[in-house]
Amino acid sequence: MSKNSAAVKSVEQPSLNGQSDRGTNKPRRPDTAERARGKRLDRRFGFPWILPAMIVSVGVLYYCIGYTGYISTLNWDGASPEPIPVGAQNYTHLFADPVFWKSVVHTGIFFVVTFTVQVALGMFFAILLHSKVRLGVFYKVLIFVPVVLAPATMAPVFRTIYAPDGQINQIIRALGLHDFSYAWLADQNTALIAVMSAAIWQSTGVVFVLYYAAMSQVEPELMEAARLDGAGNFRIIRSIIWPGVRGTTLAIAILTAIGSLKTFDWPFLITQGGPSYGTEFLGTQIYRVSVALSQVGYGAALSIILLVLALTVAVILNIAGKEKGARRV
Amino acid sequence: MFEVRRWYTRGALQLVLTLMVVPFVFPLIAMVQGSLAGSGWGNYATVLSLGLLPRFFINSVLLSTAVLVIVLACTLTAAFGFSKLHIRGKELFFWMLLAALTLPEVVLLAPLFATVTAAGAYNSLWAVIVPAAALQIPFTVLLARNFVDGIPDELIEAARVDGANTWQAFRHIIMPLTRPIVAAIVVLVFINSWNGYLFPLLFLQTPEQQTITLVPQYFVGQFNNDQTKVLAAAVLTALPVLIAYISLQKFFERGLAAGALK
């Protein structure tokens, strides 16, 4: 600011003013000793710069994780002043709990299905919108809009759509099955599909934007050359575009895997994890166990397992990514 | 990308694209249609007449703004420190941050609840703001550090030669040059805290303190599960974000895509 006003004032004598500026509020060229002092200052004063982030983030999060680890060795309802230490009992209980294994299986299915569908749809939209279609921006906005909407806002809509008198059944009735009124959310299998459809609906926009950006990086000369060699559209997608965006595909795999483990909002808000644990995920189970059943110790043990799973998945996928020479995310 | 020469293949592509986009628009149409069922615009009138809706909005704005301020302040200073300053054991600290990248928020449920109740912060926005910020910082620091790494050291050196201290180098070099990544972080953090559900659900008990993601639940209680009014409330809560996205389309797409590349 002050520099700007000085510059404005000194239009007539820019060089002179520049000199005086340097002379008044800035020291002359520092010699080597001064420079070394600067370095030392850095070393002494560097730490305060990362301190706020370390306190707010690492401090809070590691404190909470440590606390969770401690709670996971207790039999505690979350309110009683004297929790009973039970050692590893919560963990042995956990591995014998069929609901836990259901949650793990649902997470696995959720990952495979949402990843496959999102990659297919994302590639499809990115390729088409890189081709000569009209109103590209319009389609882009429509695909991306779900990304910015809260699951909490949209969950009632999905509940309505899949209700016995909802829009899905109305469409099926209009197509000819006149008495069709299936309760999609009351059946374990279709309820899981409903939850996955909501997640896919929301996240495809991100996958699409990532692929769209990655495809802009694929060299046009490569495609030109392939075309001259007689390659058709599908051959070009398979042999040039798909390998060209592999780094992005890996990033999406990590993102979706972690996202699957974190899944909470959609199943909680659409089906509450039901019917009969048919859409239970680790997140919803932890919430149900800790809040509704007041088994806080058991919920903490589940949390620790979830944390270990998330870290393991991230490490494995990152290593896999490095080995294949893809860009680290 | 896809080379189409004949007009009818081009038409077919356009048609296929349109058909594939329909499922993405369908829930939005269902939402508006459902909100107008029964008493039509009367649903909106009923929802608005409750007078509490502005309160939910204000709380969400306060929440998002506070999270944003905390995250930005911590992120920019830390990115500068990690990238350009000498810190003993720097990479160890950085890895401690990165290890928190994959942390699911539900893991923090029990300890946060115990701590928040003990600190008397239950039903206060701070109980949501602090953990929400803590969870976002590792990632925003990673993004910003990568960006600051791209700023040449010589710029800082030159400023130092001209007599600038560390703070001036930060203020006059790092802050102006990081604007693009700050824009991405703002969008990402804003959307995440605006749409956050679990922490408000856990810690905010009275409607006067709640955020817009708890609106549907509130109306389910108020209107005895009258779906039309719940959907009218959903439309009203979705509108501000929609308007923000459509007017700042590029920023949103860039910011949220950057956010995906964890």
User: pLDDT tens, A33-80?
Assistant: 444 444 444 445 688 888 899 998 999 999 999 999 998 888 888 777
| Rounded-to-integer distance, Cα B247 and Cα B167, Å | 35
- Return the sign of the alpha-carbon dihedral for residues A138, A144, A149, A155: positive
| Rounded-to-integer distance, Cα A231 and Cα A253, Å | 29
Q: How far is A216 from chain B (nearest CA, A)?
A: 9
Q: How far is A37 from chain B (nearest CA, A)?
A: 11
Which distant-in-sequence residues (6+ apart) come within 8 Å of A64 by Cβ? B107, B108, B111, B112, B115, B131
| Rounded-to-integer distance, Cα B212 and Cα A258, Å | 26
CB < 8 Å to A132, chain B: 4, 10
Q: From first to last of its 329 residues, what are the pLDDT tens digits of chain A? A: 333 433 333 333 333 333 334 334 444 444 454 444 444 444 456 888 888 999 989 999 999 999 999 988 888 887 777 888 888 888 998 899 999 999 999 999 999 999 999 999 999 999 888 887 888 888 989 999 999 999 998 998 999 899 888 888 888 888 877 777 778 888 888 999 999 999 999 999 999 999 998 888 888 888 888 888 887 888 888 888 888 888 889 888 988 998 999 999 999 999 988 788 889 999 999 999 988 888 889 999 999 999 999 999 888 887 877 766 444 33
Nearest to B77 among A53, A157, A213 (CB): A53
Q: Could you give the domains of chain A?
A: 93-323 (1.10.3720.10)
Are B252 and A144 inside 8 Å of each other by CB? yes
Residue type at A139 in one-letter notation: Y
Segments in A72-150 forming alpha helices (H): 89-95, 98-130, 136-148
Tell me the three state secondary structure of residue A131.
coil
Mean pLDDT across chain A: 81
CB A311 within 8 A of CB B104: no
pLDDT at site A323: 66
Give this complex's ipTM. 0.86
- Return the sign of the alpha-carbon dihedral for residues A39, A40, A42, A47: positive
- Return the sign of the alpha-carbon dihedral for residues A53, A54, A58, A64: negative
CB < 8 Å to B101, chain A: 314
What are the domain boundaries of chain B?
52-260
Are B256 and A148 inside 8 Å of each other by CB? yes
The answer, yes or no, to whether residue B259 has pLDDT greater than 70, is no
Q: Which CATH architecture has domain B52-260?
A: Orthogonal Bundle (1.10)
The answer, yes or no, to whether residue B52 has pLDDT greater than 60, is yes
Tell me the three state secondary structure of residue B104.
coil
Tell me the three state secondary structure of residue A84.
strand
